[in-house]
Amino acid sequence: MDLQMKDVHNFRLKLLAVGLVSASILPGCFNDRKAKSPAASEISTFRVQMVDQSGARLNTGSISIVDAVGGEGDASRFSLASDDNSKTSYSVIDDAVTGTGGVIDLNLLSTSPRISDNPLDVVFVGSAPNFVSSSSLQSITATGDYLITITLTAINSPASVPVASQSVTGAATSAGGVTNTVADISSSTTTRAADSVSNTAAVKGTTSVTIPAGTQLKTSTGAPAAPGELKLTVVHFDNDTGADVDPDFVPSNGSLALFPGGLDTTIEDDDPSTPESGSFSSAGFAAIELRDANDDLITDFSGNPVSIEITIPAGTPFPGGATGAGLIDTAPIGTVNAGDTVPVWTYNELTGKWKPQLDPDTGLPIIATVESKPDSTLFVSFKTDHLTYFNLDYWYNYCNSSVSAPASFNVIDAAGQPNKRQFSLSYYQRSGGWARTKRAYSLDTFSSVDVYRAPNFPVVFELKEGAESLIATFEPAAGNPILSQNGKIALSNICELDGGTIKLNKSNPGTPTNIPVDFTVVNVCSDIPGEFTEVTDATAFVTGGDSSVVNVPLGASTGIGTANLSSNVSFIFSAAADGITNSTPTFTPAQVGSAGVRLVLGSQTCKTTTGGTGGTGGSGGQL
């Protein structure tokens, strides 16, 4: 579950007015910055977290920061909020703020230049055991409090997630990490139909991998694979999320939202003259890994190359320009067909950057030819001498041809006044391939938006408050106003927004009031159906849109804690005890009213007189 803070991944909100809930009116506000006085010239804060495909925060793994295009030296400007030491790699277990279940608080060094003088362009890279690594590309141009969220997908995700995985086992011999010389090792994912009754998400494409018999295997350290069982795992991500049906691209709705590193990309290239930043329009993606008996990752192969086949869903957009490994400046002209070509890319899990996949024989970037199977399924196949993440992508330039130049637009309410309402931005390419959703979780008010890294192809755009679409009309800088269609507007590219004004279909909200909300934390009684018992020793806190984390002390006898919360802001209540952490869904004080909020943390035996047996894991927050 996300903390409710500004998410500024590739867009920046300019503030007309500020309506912060003061920490002084909330009980027990704390932070981890007491050991360090922020530099007088810069007071920005950065809260970094990893979440899984459902939005649940991860409390294990590591996060590193690397320079993005135009941000040479920016990664080393960060430090923990509790000290003033440059650091680019952080452990979720060792460096997270106590009681937050995996949130890391960062500042800039006291010696760092002001962001307004030297903006930040960095990539936050996250990894965790049994998850597909990912990253978040950030362009930060002004002082503020920021939430950076890195979404990781579990290798064995539930059927509600639109990815498919398959694992098989093979064997490595004792003779220098060679695979069994008799049989190949092969693994293929399968397609899956959507089923609303069982909450099953569709997966339209497949990925197949074959490692030839007798291949020599080496780990990332160059050591031969340990003799014994080998485990080959393939995870396939579709490119098509049914954009015309459901444009709300959150992880539960579309695989594009789970794309490692996002679709706004930084390319790893040794040639300084080569452009290094653009937007991917995906035709398909797969994460592939092979581990030996010691659970070490196998990265290099010698002998016969590994074969990979990835299918391409029908209707995938096809660009009008060249389809090599360079940037494309022209919009899509149709859909992919047999005989077309698509570049193949590979992901560096350590830097969060992509680079062209090289042919193991020629050393040149692979531009794969699309083929068709007897049932008309489109696919590409290629060879490789390593396993990692592979991606079929058309790489588009920005519509303004600049990383640092945004597309800026104003937002007014239904009465023509500067907007004071919270919203999120969602925009996507029809027929799939590319999408972006940015949430403006903040107590600030927004009347102008800067969109960075705007792709050069047609998109459908909307502003949303919860599930409600807010756009009434768009008035471009030149030309006639455009009426929205069901709250959405169609654009030839995002740069059409530059200099224009979006008018909302709602007036500004009234002045917020502070409402007292009661909170309790309970365990389910495993031996008494329908009964609960209070957990009075839990660490409990509320996270709100102003980036604060507010303690909610629980009464020793009643188990009730109370906090005064702003009436027009969304919050999340979290608690931790005995190594178990859980959070509620997002709520507003008006929603819960006098009933308050009850969070189920775990379960325990209640009939004994010596106390419970301890929690067994959260079962979800209740409101």
Instruction: Say which residues have a Cβ less than 8 Å from residue 325's Cβ, sequence separation at least 6.
Output: 343, 356, 365, 367, 395
* 432 phi, psi to nearest 5 deg: 85, -175
Distance of CA 604 to the CA centre of its chain: 34
> Cα(398)–Cα(366) distance, rounded to whole angstroms?
23
Instruction: Say which residues have a Cβ less than 8 Å from residue 169's Cβ, sequence separation at least 6.
Output: 229, 230, 231, 232
Give the per-residue pLDDT at 579: 64
Give yes or no for a contact between 209 and 234, defined as CB atoms under 8 angstroms apart: yes
Nearest to 443 by CA among 590, 594, 352, 565: 565
Distance of CA 609 to the CA centre of its chain: 46
Say what the alpha-carbon torsion angle 134, 583, 159, 167 is, to the nearest 10 degrees. 50
Give the per-residue pLDDT at 35: 34
Regions in the chain scoring below 50 on pLDDT: 1-40, 241-253, 272-275, 440-445, 546-547, 610-623
Give the per-residue pLDDT at 247: 39
Q: From residue 52, how far is each of 128, 131, 255, 333 by CA, in Å?
A: 10, 8, 13, 35
Beta strands in 101-144 (DSSP E): 104-108, 120-127, 131-132, 134-140
Residue 58 amino acid letter: L
pTM check: above 0.75: no
